[in-house]
Amino acid sequence: MAQKTIAGKTVNLTDEGYLEDYTQWNKEIAKEIAREEEIELTDKHFQILDFLRKKHGEGAELTIRKVGKSGIADIKELYKLFPGGPLKKSSRIAGIPKPTSCV
């Protein structure tokens, strides 16, 4: 576990850069993590991030397929919004743990 200041807030991160405590997340933290991933967040990104956070809070196991069936964006669009690993990157930006379905 490492500590890092993101958007003026000190947070604990896993070795892979995911927030240890998803309640520390806010939109400013999301924007800064997204910048690290070279992603500029839009309303569509935030809709997906909100969906991920809600499902995580409900204890649901997240998969790219479930996100694709959310009605927010299909799988092809997810790859455009979060290139190079949509579920992995979107989860990190959303402040939730890395999904077990991600390598």
* pLDDT tens by residue, 69-83: 999 999 999 999 999
Residue 53 has pLDDT above 80, yes or no: yes
Q: Is 102 labeled as catalytic in the residue annotation?
A: yes
The stretch 46-54 carries a mean pLDDT of 97
Q: Which of 41, 100, 102, 103 is catalytic?
A: 102
Please check whether residue 10 is in contact with residue 3, taking contact to mean a CB–CB distance below 8 angstroms. yes
For residue 98, pLDDT over 70 is answered with yes
CA dist 49 and 39 (Å) reads 13
What pLDDT sits at residue 103? Answer: 59
pLDDT at 99: 79
Higher pLDDT, 26 or 103: 26
Domain ranges of the chain: 2-94
- Dist CA 58 CA 29 (whole Å): 22
- Residue 18's pLDDT is 93
